[in-house]
Structure 1
Amino acid sequence: MAAPEYTGPVEQLLQINREILKKELELQRTKRQRLAFRAGLMLAPTLFFAIYIATAVTWGKFDMLLINIIAVPIDILLIVGAITYAANRRSGRIGALKLVGDVELDLTVLRERRRFMALDLTLTLTQRRSIYKDDTNRDIELFRRDSRRYRRINNIFQSLVIVGSLFAASMSSLAVEQESFRWATVVATFLVGISAGFTGYFKFKDRGFYLQQTADALEHEWSIYDLGIGRYKRLKPEEALADFVEEAERIKAEQRQREQNLDQPSDGRDSASQQ
């Protein structure tokens, strides 16, 4: 079945909106893939040393064959995935999906194209306000959804750190009298270390906080614009709409800058903050 042709300006605008929605879904998948590969980069060497230490400690006391049969292939897959990710990163593509930066660039180009296309249409002020309201509400919902997801992940890891620390301390006390509890102490300490490392490296709490802050700022800006209060009180409708679009883009640009700063290493963030 042949794809329909879009000739009119309104139909072209609807088509580009469809392309933007597809690109937003692709961006979400790409971010999840990047997060999974980064987790593999950290987990692969950690799991390797954990297998080695556990086997050395329990040598002659406990048969680790069954555990190693499961853990070693998993670690090999993580190592192969990490190497593949690092190799494909040089070429600018990872598997069938682009890198996150490339997808964000494509999404920005599509949004700019839609903006220029909308300028060519003879839309009333009410129609334009409705379009911007729908776009703003969708952005607010996306920011809040991602914020809830990051907060949920952070709470899980923090719970593992708290419970694992208490469990390891209890097992350490019992291991003084019974050596069989030492293995439980090693496992608990290992889980606490992984959880603390993931929390510190990926900064789930900071990401969730900034996303929620951006969503609240966008919602507040739309509210004062829609009600015609604050700095929009004495502006003409066209001027108020232009100021609102400019302020909304500034808030989104600040959010993108925060995400880029969180993705940088510690020394990179320090140098960027000093500039």
Structure 2
Amino acid sequence: MPPRTAVTGRSQEPRRRFAEELRLLRTQRGESLRQLGTALGWDASLFGKLESGQTLGSPEVAEALDQHYGTPGLLLTLWELAAADPTQFKERYRRYMTLEAEAVSMWHYGVSVFPGMLQTEGYAREVLAVGGAKGEDLTRQVEARIGRRELLKGDDAPPFRTILSEAVLRSSLRDPKEWRKQLEHLTEVRDPKEWRKQLEHLTEVAARPNVTLHVMPDASGPHGLVSTDVMFLRLPEGRTVAYTENAHRGELIEESSSVERLQRAYDAVRDLALSPAGSRKFVMRMLEEVPCDPST
């Protein structure tokens, strides 16, 4: 193992420390990025991005580097600390938003909520409020989210495919008999008319030529994305990146083998989902279940 240096004077920010350690180990070995890429079987550009802090890569890459440098567990631990650092979420998300605006096509799978670019203002406000946003910050976030809908409009709008789990549609529904009781106890009233607007908006967007909607019925059973929201972005230069998100964190994934694994899982989910025509009928049935007035 290469000699270790004291932590004092080194970056204490997890992502920077991870990048510094990678750069130090490679230079101590006297390897070029090209030589490292050849030795491990990944493109040299990936390691350049790792060392510059542009990406974290995947745990598989960190493990392979640990084996290559003879540092068992060190780089994987640093990777885990960097990936878990909450201060990195906004940075990753900002980069994702930049790539989203450049994408020539997009594929999405949603576990529990509609994707931002399909949300109505009322739906977005409730989802963001549940996440802790309030006041002027909530207003700004809602405006920003609604602005993303422009990506799907116009003659040059990119193709967009979304697969929504049945839970996404069911989460907007309430038993009509329970509406009055629920509304009496909610600080922020959940207006069933807003849920109706959201589902109606979904049917309108799904009718556009560049948008394809699939519904994943609960009856389809378990699958590889059962707990993961994911968006794939195909970029102008031909490569694809993925952004995954759960209730606690989001991660921009650019390393090709990790993206390919997610794409295979996505393809399997698409095979289980309803056809676009069947999905539109499914949504229309959901609309019939939404009460027009909470007093009914």
User: What TM-score does the superposition give when structure 2 sets the normalisation length?
Assistant: 0.23
Greater fraction strand: 2
Please identify the structure whose Cα radius of gyration is greater: 1
Greater fraction helix: 1
| RCO comparison, higher one (Cα < 8 Å, 6+) | 2
